[in-house]
């Protein structure tokens, strides 16, 4: 094999990421988790930390549109990627996203700790499956644990959100 000049190992790295449409550049320790980067460096504390090993789901964010666990990624791995967190869901006038609105109306939350992660998962799910069945909703949300609601109202909220998003989508297509 040809001798290679391998890249050097580092303990810190410069990263540039886009979060909720804003561009950020920071120098971070390589061991910093993406979840801690969002919360401590960018002060976006809407992304919650539960178990910190990928089980509870409340740290779910969108990475280039796909739902991922921000506590199972290093911040340095998000280099030059676009991330959406719960703070990026509401519109510019703080009007709620249709998914958030549906969760409010259907009482899809009680303490609300798990809600940011669930909203992000629902956002990704409805992108893939705009008209999910109850069973599909429960299956797709099985990676998000809620200890208050018993999930019933969460399923109701997702169905309402799906319906409204479908309507607004077809209105957009007619325009």
Instruction: Examine residue 121 and tell whether it contacts another protein (CB under 8 A).
Output: yes
In angstroms, rounded to a whole number, what is the distance separating the alpha carbons of residues 40 and 42? 6
Instruction: Examine residue 60 and tell whether it contacts another protein (CB under 8 A).
Output: yes
**Binds another protein (CB under 8 A): choice among 16, 22, 66, 104:** 66
Task: Provide the 3-class DSSP secondary structure of residue 123.
Answer: helix
Instruction: Examine residue 8 and tell whether it contacts another protein (CB under 8 A).
Output: yes
**Binds another protein (CB under 8 A): choice among 18, 24, 54, 96:** 54
**Binds another protein (CB under 8 A): choice among 26, 41, 45, 52:** 52
Stretch that binds another protein, among 17-25, 47-55, 95-103, 164-172 (CB under 8 A): 47-55
Write down the least CB distance from residue 148 to another protein, Å.
17
Task: Provide the 3-class DSSP secondary structure of residue 62.
Answer: strand
Stretch that binds another protein, among 59-67, 83-91, 96-104, 166-174 (CB under 8 A): 59-67
66's enclosing H/E stretch is strand 66-69
Is 111:148 a contact under the CB 8 Å cutoff? yes
Stretch that binds another protein, among 65-73, 84-92, 101-109, 162-170 (CB under 8 A): 65-73
In angstroms, rounded to a whole number, what is the distance separating the alpha carbons of residues 100 and 127? 15
Is 47:116 a contact under the CB 8 Å cutoff? yes
29's enclosing H/E stretch is strand 22-29
Instruction: Examine residue 47 and tell whether it contacts another protein (CB under 8 A).
Output: no
Instruction: Examine residue 172 and tell whether it contacts another protein (CB under 8 A).
Output: no
Look at residues 17, 2, 20 and name the one whose alpha carbon lies nearest to residue 75. 17
Is 115:77 a contact under the CB 8 Å cutoff? no
Binding residues (CB under 8 A) for another protein: these are 1-2, 4-11, 13, 29-31, 33, 36, 51-54, 57, 60, 63, 66-69, 71-74, 76-77, 121, 124-125, 138-140, 142-143
């Amino acid at each position: 094999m040809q001798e290679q000049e391998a890249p050097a190992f580092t303990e810190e790295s410069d990263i540039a990421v886009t979060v909720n449409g804003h561009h950020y550049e920071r120098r971070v320790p390589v061991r910093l988790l993406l979840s801690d980067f969002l919360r401590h460096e960018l002060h976006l504390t809407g992304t919650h930390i539960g178990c910190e090993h990928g089980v509870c789901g409340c740290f779910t964010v969108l990475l280039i549109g796909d739902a991922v666990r921000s506590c199972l990624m290093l911040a340095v791995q998000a280099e030059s990627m676009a991330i959406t967190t719960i703070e990026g869901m509401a519109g510019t006038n703080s009007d709620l996203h249709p998914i958030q609105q549906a969760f409010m109306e259907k009482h899809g939350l009680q303490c609300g700790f798990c809600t940011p992660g669930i909203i992000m998962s629902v956002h990704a799910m409805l992108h893939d499956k705009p008209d999910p069945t109850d069973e599909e909703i429960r299956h797709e949300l099985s990676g998000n644990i809620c200890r208050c609601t018993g999930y019933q109202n969460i399923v109701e909220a997702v169905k309402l959100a799906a319906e409204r998003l479908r309507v607004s989508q077809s209105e957009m297509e007619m325009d």
